[in-house]
């Protein structure tokens, strides 16, 4: 059974067996949990359906969080991405739709909707937005979509074991950074890239989010969290395309994960989800907190 001590060990196993990472992770989890592969696949398929529902519900025009800090931007971004007016989105169709989905899912979370923590609630829009946009644009089969989530899950286990996926421990790099890394690896597999390329994409994405602080305004997972989901999925897309093009990370993925842990440990408490630093203590951030909590 896999120990999930390193991404390299998972990639090596996949390369040796001539299988994608998802197959390795699914087989291992079935064995370690004493469940059939079919049962685990259906469980993950249900997660995918929750992601679909969140993306659709989060794009509603009237959606608002109880605090009033978020809601409606998923609708605005979706309308902009699909309007067809003028020259169209600067980032193009795929990227703009991915951002719209990421924002919609994150706003749905803020409005107490049902989401999949991927790997956390604060970063819940990044991985779903990546895989669901592949479904929309490239008509990727549901089988491949579900399997890509096993790839993401396996890498997530390594990150959680060797670093952190909690903003309170490692800053937002541990949440949105990890989510971007998982999404990048999933995208590579969905484009039939190799396990090695998936690992390269993971490393590139995580490097590009290294040092990202967690500074939620009023201590709520809304500002700047929702828009960081849009940035995270864009980071994942860029990393996946670089890896698929043959671009490699000079620092191996497992060393990047270790670096993220060290950076997180070095962060002051004010930048680790306490709302005592960064954007949370700007004049506007403080005014919003006062307005919400009095």
What SS3 class is residue 273?
A: coil
- How far apart CA 18 and CA 12 sit, in angstroms, is 10
- Evaluate whether 99 touches 232 at the Cβ level (below 8 Å): no
- Asked if residue 140 is part of any domain, the answer here is yes
Kindly report, residue by residue over 2-28, the tens digit of the pLDDT.
Answer: 999 999 999 999 999 999 999 999 999
- This prediction has a pTM of 0.98
- Asked if residue 191 is part of any domain, the answer here is yes
- How far apart CA 216 and CA 225 sit, in angstroms, is 7
- How far apart CA 166 and CA 273 sit, in angstroms, is 9
Residue 252: closest CA among 4, 11, 14: 11
- Asked if residue 2 is part of any domain, the answer here is no
* Structural domain boundaries, residue 261: 7-293
User: CB count, 10 Å around CB of 281?
Assistant: 14
- How far apart CA 278 and CA 14 sit, in angstroms, is 41
For the chain, the domain total comes to 1
User: CATH no. for residue 121?
Assistant: 1.10.4100
Kindly report, residue by residue over 225-270, the tens digit of the pLDDT.
Answer: 999 999 999 999 999 999 999 999 999 999 999 999 999 999 999 9
């Amino acid at each position: 059974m896999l120990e999930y001590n390193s991404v390299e060990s998972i990639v090596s196993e996949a390369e040796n067996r001539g299988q994608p990472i998802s197959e390795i992770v699914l087989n291992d989890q079935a064995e370690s949990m004493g469940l059939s592969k079919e049962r685990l696949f259906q469980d993950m398929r249900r997660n995918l359906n929750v992601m679909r529902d969140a993306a659709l519900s989060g794009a509603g025009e009237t959606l608002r969080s109880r605090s009033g800090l978020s809601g409606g931007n998923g609708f605005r971004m979706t309308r902009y991405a699909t309007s067809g007016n003028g020259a169209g989105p600067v980032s193009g169709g795929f990227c703009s739709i991915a951002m719209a989905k990421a924002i919609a899912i994150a706003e749905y979370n803020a409005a107490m909707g049902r989401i999949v923590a991927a790997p956390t609630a604060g970063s819940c829009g990044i991985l779903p937005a990546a895989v669901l946009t592949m479904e929309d644009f490239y008509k990727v089969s549901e089988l491949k979509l579900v399997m890509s989530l096993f790839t993401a899950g396996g890498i997530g286990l390594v990150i959680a074991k060797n670093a952190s996926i909690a903003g309170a421990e490692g800053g937002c790099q541990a949440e949105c950074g990890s989510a971007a890394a998982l999404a990048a690896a999933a995208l590579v597999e969905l484009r039939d890239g190799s396990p090695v390329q998936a690992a390269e994409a993971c490393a590139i994405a995580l490097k590009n989010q290294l040092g990202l602080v967690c500074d939620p305004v009023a201590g709520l997972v809304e500002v700047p969290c929702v828009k960081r989901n849009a940035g995270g999925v864009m980071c994942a897309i860029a990393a996946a395309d670089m890896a698929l093009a043959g671009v490699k990370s000079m620092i191996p993925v497992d060393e990047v994960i270790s670096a993220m842990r060290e950076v997180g440990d070095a962060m002051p408490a004010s930048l680790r989800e306490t709302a005592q630093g960064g954007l949370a203590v700007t004049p506007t951030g403080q005014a919003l907190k006062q307005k919400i909590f009095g």
